[in-house]
Amino acid sequence: MAEKTYGIDFLAGFLVGALVGAAAALLLAPQSGEETRVFIREKGIELGQRADELSDEARRRAQEVQMQAKDKAEELQTKVKQAVDEGKATATQKKEELLSQVGDKTAGEEPAGA
């Protein structure tokens, strides 16, 4: 969950920085009004395209992380199930051994009335 927050914060910071940089360039550049409007329009289109690209990239990475998390969860689930099964098998084996030992001791005892 924290990884998503960092990605969103980075993207927001990047976009704000790009806008501030573009504004500073416009204010400091010696151009006519028409040239400035064309420049703003072009940069706006470029920024929009770049934002779309970054959004697609972020979405792709999020899907990759989701798939990795799913794979690791499935792997962990398999290991836990295997450990539980091994524990059950060991418990059953020990139970049978103990019952066998108790059975051997009882078979070796003579009845009390004999």
pLDDT of 1 > 50? The answer is no
Nearest to 20 by CA among 41, 43, 53, 36: 43
pLDDT single digits (tens) 5-43: 677 788 788 888 888 887 787 777 777 778 878 888 898
pLDDT of 112 > 70? The answer is no
For residues 74 and 80, give the distance between their C-alpha atoms in angstroms, rounded to a whole number: 10
| Overall pTM > 0.75 | no
For residues 106 and 114, give the distance between their C-alpha atoms in angstroms, rounded to a whole number: 15
- Going from the C-alpha of 106 to that of each of 5, 96, 98, 101, 112, the distances in angstroms are 68, 15, 12, 9, 12
pLDDT single digits (tens) 38-70: 888 898 899 889 888 988 988 999 999 999 999
Beta-carbon count within 10 A of 47 CB: 14
